[in-house]
Structure 1
């Protein structure tokens, strides 16, 4: 995955549309499916919890399938990019302890993965207006910069790929 420049206002606008559309479709479809199931299979006890739950589950599965199909649509580009970025950052986060240990020993791939993580996190936090923990990110970046200088490593995040993480 490569980091891209994303227009924050366009991203927020499209994300809000996706969120509202998901909530509305999940609400309407789950109620409709549950009502159809209740009409087809009425319960003598009067409890329709299982039909309501099944309506929500079927609607959620349908919504996920629609989102996956629409992920490549041009109007979903920014939202899909952020979803993919979050997945890539999550993969790195799961290996963070090993990556930090390897970077401390001078491993260039570990440093590259950490640099991608820091740049991606910075971009993500700025897009979501979540700058509260930016100081801890800056501290981690400063530590990485010291290791890069100490070991004479050159980092180019455009060369990062998730395959680097298999070594850790």
Structure 2
């Protein structure tokens, strides 16, 4: 996976549209399924919690099926890219202390993984308008780059591949 440039404004507009659309479709399907189930299987005395819950779950399932098919379209490339970028950054974040230890031991792999992590985190914070977190990450990246220089390691995020994450023991 490589870091690529995406237009922040376009990404945010698409993200908002998709969120509103998913929520709307889910609400409509959930409410409709609940109403239909209440009509055919509901209790006239009003105890319909399980029927309503079943309707909501059916609406959720249908929404997931619809969007799993629609999400493959090119319109969603930027959203899929950031989704995958977040997954990779979180994978690294969960074991960052181990990667940092390997960096101290002089591991070039750790330098590559952490370089990718910092670039990914900066891009995600920029896209999410997280200015406080962004400034903090810039400082952490500067410290990381300084450590790499002292250890004579090349922090090249472009060399990152998912396979490198499997090298962590």
Which interval holds the TM-score relative to the shorter structure? over 0.9
Shift of 1:44: 4.9
Shift of 1:167: 2.1
Q: Give the equivalent residue in structure 2 for 1:167.
A: 167
Q: CA RMSD in A?
A: 1.5
Cα shift readout 1:38-75 (whole Å, capped 9, x = no counterpart): 11212254211112212222222222222222222111
Q: Kindly indicate whether the alpha-carbon contact (under 8 Å) linking 1:11 and 1:79 is maintained by their aligned counterparts in 2.
A: yes
TM-score normalized with structure 1 length: 0.92
Q: Give the equivalent residue in structure 1 for 2:20.
A: 20
CA distance in 2, matches of 1:9, 1:84: 19
Task: After the TM superposition, list the runs of 4 or more consecutive aligned residues in structure 1 that deviate by more than 4 angstroms.
Answer: none
- The answer to whether the aligner puts 1:109 opposite 2:99 as a matched pair is no
Q: Kindly indicate whether the alpha-carbon contact (under 8 Å) linking 1:34 and 1:51 is maintained by their aligned counterparts in 2.
A: yes
Equivalent residues in 2 for 1:40-119 (5 A)?
Answer: 40-119=40-119
Structure 2: stretches of 5+ with no match in the other structure: none
Structure 1: stretches of 5+ with no match in the other structure: none
Q: Kindly indicate whether the alpha-carbon contact (under 8 Å) linking 2:42 and 2:51 is maintained by their aligned counterparts in 1.
A: no
Aligned residues: 168
CA distance in 2, matches of 1:47, 1:13: 42
CA distance in 2, matches of 1:121, 1:61: 32
**Structure 2 counterpart SS, 1:133:** helix
TM-score normalized with structure 2 length: 0.92
